[in-house]
Amino acid sequence: MISFQMPILFHWPKALAQRQLEAISALQQGDKDLFEAVRKQLPGAAGQLQIPKLELPAKNLYATELSVLDLPHANFRQSNLRRADLRGSHLKEASFREAKMQQSQLDNAVLEQANMPQAELRKSSFRDSDLNEANLFRSDMQSSDLRGATMEGANAFGVKLNHSDLTDASLKKANFSQADMRLTTLKNADLQDAALQGTNLNQADLWKTDLSRADLRGAKLRGANLFETNLEGANVAQADFTGANLFEVDLSKVKNLDQALGLMEY
């Protein structure tokens, strides 16, 4: 059944409203070609469709242009969204569980509280996107661009983020425990109060990263760059800093420093 918000349609002539309905119907049926063709005929704001609770599970939406849409609570579970364009779309509390989204574009998208466990997101772009409180449990985000993204309070337990770029990202109180963040760039990122228990940060770039009060118990930081990193109040019990660059790092207020590994030279 087609779901839409009637108040939007009252503002447009009857023919235009009908075209909006056709676009919505095509999208719900998974007919990306028809959807894109109809949407191109909608002028300006008329093409910025608002479709709450859109149901698109297990659909083939490969390379579909879905930018600047308002799709709260949408269901894309197990859908193929590889190379899809979702830039600037509002996707609060949307479900992308086990979706295939490699090389998708989600810059400036609102994904607050989105449900994305075990989603395949390799080489995707999330620049300046809102992932606050999103569920990314064991998702694959290798080699992705998350520069300037916000992931405060997100559940990223076991996520694969190796070779990704999170420069200037806000990651306060996020859970990255058991995550693979090898060779990840976290320059100037905010990880205050974040959970990083058992996280693999070997050779990661943490230049000027704020790790104050972070839980780094058992984390692997071999060969990591922590130049001017803030570790005040961080718990580093059993964390391995072998070969890490800790130049200009104040270790005086770090918790369980005596239980950390690889700090003999410091």
143 C-beta neighbours (distance < 10 Å), count: 19
**In the predicted model, is pLDDT for residue 5 greater than 60?**
no
Q: Which residue has the higher pLDDT, 238 or 30?
A: 238
Residue 34 pLDDT grade (very low, low, confident, very high; cuts 50, 70, 90): confident
Q: Which residue has the higher pLDDT, 235 or 1?
A: 235
Task: Tell me the torsion sign for CA atoms 146, 149, 151, 152.
Answer: positive
Q: What's the domain range around 176?
A: 146-266
116 is a domain residue: no
186 is a domain residue: yes
Between vectors from CA 147 to CA 64 and to CA 45, what angle results, nearest 5°? 40
| pTM score of the predicted model | 0.90
261 is a domain residue: yes
Q: What is the CATH number of the domain that holds 221?
A: 2.160.20.80
Task: Tell me the torsion sign for CA atoms 151, 153, 154, 156.
Answer: positive
**What average pLDDT does the segment 23-38 reach?**
82
Residue 39 three-state SS: helix
HSE (CB half, 13 Å, CA atoms) of 78?
2
**In the predicted model, is pLDDT for residue 229 greater than 70?**
yes
Name the DSSP letter for residue 38.
H
258 is a domain residue: yes
Specify the number of domains making up the chain. 2
The predicted-structure confidence for 155-188, as pLDDT tens digits, reads as follows: 999 999 999 999 999 999 999 999 999 999 999 9
The predicted-structure confidence for 73-109, as pLDDT tens digits, reads as follows: 999 999 999 999 999 999 999 999 999 999 999 999 9
Task: From 51, 71, 91, give the residue that closes a domain.
Answer: 51
* β-bridge partners, 160: 140, 180
**In the predicted model, is pLDDT for residue 111 greater than 60?**
yes
Structure-block tokens of residue 140: 């694959």
Q: Which residue has the higher pLDDT, 40 or 217?
A: 217
Return phi, psi of residue 44, to 5°: 50, -130
Percent of the chain's residues with pLDDT above 90? 77
18 is a domain residue: yes
**What average pLDDT does the segment 15-41 reach?**
79
Which own/partner pairs from 257-261 qualify as long-range (CB within 8 Å, at least 24 positions apart)? 260/236
The CA distance from 95 to 123, in Å, is 20
Are residues 86 and 107 in contact, defined by beta-carbon separation less than 8 angstroms? Answer: no
Residue 216 three-state SS: coil
Residue 258 three-state SS: helix
194 is a domain residue: yes
**In the predicted model, is pLDDT for residue 27 greater than 90?**
no
Task: From 20, 35, 51, give the residue that closes a domain.
Answer: 51
The CA distance from 87 to 200, in Å, is 30
21 is a domain residue: yes
Average pLDDT, the chain: 92
Residue 27 three-state SS: helix
* 20 contact partners, CB below 8 Å, separation of at least 6: 4, 8, 9, 12, 42, 46, 49
Q: Which residue has the higher pLDDT, 19 or 205?
A: 205
91 is a domain residue: no
